[in-house]
């Protein structure tokens, strides 16, 4: 239901946007998210703030990141808007957004968790791969697991343990999981060994085995990690 609501709000926003002018600059979008009482208009403005091309200089971008971060922390916006805030922060690709991405990836709301995983892949640090690997392993929702795999591909961590997790995912029962693991392995390794897991294992197994052989506990901890911590408003 949450994802359906997310898309329905987007549709309403698009319709409403036809008759409401909200400006074209970062300053105008910031004004809308700060003062406009209409959540549909704020949704559009928050989304626009995620476009790197609207910023004339670093000062304006920094102001937007600070505002988006503060608005997320306040947890006063509806879930769908908080999710689009996280998406915009990820799209800006700035490391200052990492704390929000980490928190969002652990949020109890699936819509926010999904965007958090994608954003973390864009603004995270190598150690954040453990968060994404855990989510792709234990999350109960397919969309969130796929978003976590997508995040791993964007993060591009050169770690044999992550390769192992993705190799295992290529043999998952769910074809969507298998496909996303393949795509992420291609991004991380910048290679393409086809679509068969056996071919990938043949090429990557020496490195994987060197890290994981005789260290099953370490591998398991890397894949599962701690339990999610509820985000703001959870």
Q: Are 181 and 169 in contact (CB under 8 A)?
A: yes
Q: Are 49 and 84 in contact (CB under 8 A)?
A: no
- Report if pTM > 0.75: yes
What are 58-92's pLDDT values in tens digits?
A: 999 999 999 999 999 999 999 999 999 999 999 99
Residue 213's pLDDT band (cuts 50, 70, 90):
very low
Distance of CA 1 to the CA centre of its chain: 20
CA distances from 202 to 30, 198, 205, 207, 214 (A): 51, 6, 6, 10, 19
Distance CA 15, CA 20 (A): 9
Residue 219's pLDDT band (cuts 50, 70, 90):
very low
Higher pLDDT, 55 or 229: 55
What is residue 92's predicted lDDT score, i.e. its pLDDT?
98
Q: Are 69 and 92 in contact (CB under 8 A)?
A: no
What are 146-198's pLDDT values in tens digits?
A: 999 999 999 999 999 999 999 999 999 999 999 999 999 999 999 999 999 99
* Ordered alpha helix ranges (H), 139-215: 142-155, 160-169, 175-189, 197-212
Distance CA 58, CA 90 (A): 16
Distance CA 130, CA 127 (A): 6
What is residue 209's predicted lDDT score, i.e. its pLDDT?
55
Distance CA 171, CA 85 (A): 34
What is residue 20's predicted lDDT score, i.e. its pLDDT?
76
């Amino acid at each position: 239901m949450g994802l359906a609501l997310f898309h329905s709000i987007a549709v309403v926003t698009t319709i409403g946007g036809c008759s409401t002018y909200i400006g074209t600059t970062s300053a105008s979008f910031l004004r809308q998210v700060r003062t406009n009482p209409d959540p549909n208009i704020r949704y559009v403005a928050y989304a626009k703030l995620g476009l790197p091309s609207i910023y004339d200089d670093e000062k304006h971008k920094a102001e937007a990141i600070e505002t988006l971060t503060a608005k997320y922390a306040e947890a006063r916006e509806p879930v769908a808007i908080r999710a689009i805030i996280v998406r915009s922060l990820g799209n800006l690709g700035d490391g200052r957004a990492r704390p929000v991405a980490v928190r969002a990836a652990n949020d109890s709301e699936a819509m926010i968790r999904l965007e958090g995983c994608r954003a973390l892949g864009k603004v995270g640090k190598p150690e954040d791969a453990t968060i994404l690997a855990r989510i792709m392993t234990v999350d109960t929702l397919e969309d969130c697991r796929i978003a976590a795999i997508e995040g791993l591909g964007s993060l591009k961590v050169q770690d044999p343990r992550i390769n192992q997790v993705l190799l295992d995912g290529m043999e998952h029962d769910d074809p969507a999981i298998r496909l996303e693991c393949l795509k992420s392995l291609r991004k991380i390794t910048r290679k393409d060994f086809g679509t068969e897991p056996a071919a990938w294992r043949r090429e990557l197994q020496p490195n994987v085995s060197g890290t994981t052989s005789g260290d099953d506990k370490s591998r398991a901890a890397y894949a599962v990690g701690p339990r999610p911590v509820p985000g703001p408003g959870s």
